[in-house]
Amino acid sequence: DPALIFDLGGKFDKSFNEAAYNGAERWKAETGGSYKELEMQSEAMREQALRRLAQSGANPIVMTGFAFGEVLNKVAPDYPDTKFVIIDMVVEQPNVQSIVFTEEQGSYLAGVLAAQASKSGTVGFIGGMDIPLIHKFECGYAQGFKAAKPDGKLIINYTGTTPAAWNDPVKGGELVRAQISQGADVIYAAAGGTGIGVLQAAADAGILSIGVDSNQNHLHPGKVLTSMVKGVDNSVYEAFKAGAEIQPGVKVMDLASGGVSVAMDESNKPLISDEMTAAVEAATKAIVGGEIKVHDYMTDNTCPVE
């Protein structure tokens, strides 16, 4: 049986852990198979979980989150017959498949859409905990926005510095109001549970918001401009389907492969004009074709646009 390990955020984090869970559930529903799932409770438990699963014969073992990188590097060689899949991190071992997403590209498209949808020319970004991964989202978004609206204004806020920052919808909502008061009329939230508060406050205030990781358009139909979707669910689904035969190596899930995208569905249909669709398509083509290179914040800890 395959196995899935969630990171500390837990499987209902409204974010990528939950997406992974949905992928696994889809596989279960389609194939009728069963899988093991584990939630972390402490740092020291990561290794324990990996080893116990490997010993129990689970294959492949899928885990979400960069935090597993170190441990996997150590554990994978001990179980050469087991295949491991790690999401959001590269681990170079012969029995590991690493899946990374180009969040900057998806966020770039979100930025393009935000620029189109914004009437004031000012848009916002609200991050959860102030860590590099979230800056990657922020930087891609900023690049897309500036490309479409070079003199537009971008307001950036982070909720906090402790893990509590992922679960503070009150502060998320307040940040929305602060950004609105500075003119923002589209706000992109990459903040886990805090994001729920962001989307809510934006909907309450009658401005647009952008969801993240999973498709969150349906949370407030007609009020969420789009969601920057990471295909974590697909990746997990694919990995489970491939089973023990899964190919080791690095798998970059980018725009071209559909790994990241901006969600278009019934909920946001009224919000998306034809020009927007055109702009997104043009940008997608340019990125896929290599004309536009979206800078990845993680490579050098800097962002080319402010």
Partner 1 sequence: MDFATVLQILDSAVRLMTPLLLACLAGLYSERAGVFDIGLEGKMLMAAFTSASVAYATGSAWLGLLAGIAGAAAMAGLHGLASISFRGNQLISGVAINFLASGLTVLLGQKIFGLGGRTPSLSGAARFGEITLPFADSLRPVPVIGPVYAELISGHTLLVYVAFAMVPLTWWVLYRTRFGLRLRAVGENPASVDTAGVSVTRLRYGAVMICGVLCGIAGAYLATGISAGFVKEMTAGRGFIALAALIFAKWRPWSALFATFLFGLMEAVANRFPDLDLGIITVPSMFMNALPYILTVIILAGFVGRAIPPRAGGEPYVKER
Partner 2 sequence: MERMPKWADVILTPLISLALAFVLSALVILAIGESPAEALKVMVEGALGSSYGWGFTLYYTTNFIFTGLAVMVAYHAGLFNIGGEGQAAVGGLGVALVLLALPWPHWALALPAAMLGAALFGAAWALIPAWLQARRGSHVVITTIMFNFIAAALLNYVLVNLLRPVGSMDPASANFAPATHLPKLSGMAKALGLNWGENTPVNIAFFIALAACLLVWLLIWRTRLGYEIRAFGKSEPAALYAGISALRITVVAMLVSGGLAGLMAVNNVMGEAERLVLNAVEGAGFIGIAVALMGRNHPFGVLLAALLFGFLYQGGGELALWTTIPRELIVVIQALVILFTGALDNMVRMPLERLFMALRRKGA
| Interaction mask 158-197, partner 2, x per CB under 8 A | ---xxx----------------------------------
Residues 203-232 that bind partner 2 (CB under 8 A): none
Q: Does 89 bind partner 2 (CB under 8 A)?
A: yes
- The nearer residue to partner 2, 49 or 210, going by C-beta atoms, is 49
Q: Give the residue among 37, 82, 34, 44 at the shortest CA–CA distance from 64.
A: 37
Among 38, 142, 180, 187, contact with partner 2 (rule: CB under 8 A): 38
292 binds partner 2 (CB under 8 A): no
Residue 170 vs residues 56, 197, 232, 278, 300: alpha-carbon distances, Å: 43, 6, 28, 36, 33
Task: State the amino acid at position 22 in one-letter form.
Answer: N
- Considering the complex, what minimum distance in angstroms separates the CB of residue 125 from partner 2? 17
* Interacting residues with partner 2 between 229 and 268 (CB under 8 A): none
Residue at token pair 């390990």: 5
CA distance 274 to 139: 26
301 binds partner 2 per the rule CB under 8 A: yes
DSSP codes joined into one string, 193-241: HHHHHHHHHHHHHT-EEEEEES--GGGSTTTEEEEEEETHHHHHHHHHH
Instruction: Write out the two tokens for 146.
Output: 């500036």
177: enclosing H helix or E strand: helix 169-181
Could you list the residues that contact partner 1 (CB under 8 A)?
Answer: 10-14, 18, 130, 156-161, 164, 167-175, 177-178, 181-182, 193-194, 196-197, 200-201, 204, 219
CA quadruple 101, 264, 109, 176: dihedral sign: negative
| Angle, helix 132-148 to helix 274-289, in steps of 10 degrees | 120
Q: Are 209 and 188 in contact (CB under 8 A)?
A: yes
Nearer to partner 1, 12 or 278 (CB): 12
Q: Does 48 bind partner 2 (CB under 8 A)?
A: yes
Asked if 93 is part of the footprint of partner 2 (rule: CB under 8 A), the reply reads no
Q: Which of partner 1, partner 2, none interacts with 13 (beta carbon under 5 to 8 A by kind)? A: partner 1
* Total site size for partner 2, rule CB under 8 A: 30
Measured from the CB atom, is 131 or 170 closer to partner 2? 131
* Interface contacts to partner 2, rule CB under 8 A: 38-39, 41-45, 47-49, 51-52, 66-67, 69-70, 88-89, 129-133, 161-163, 298-301
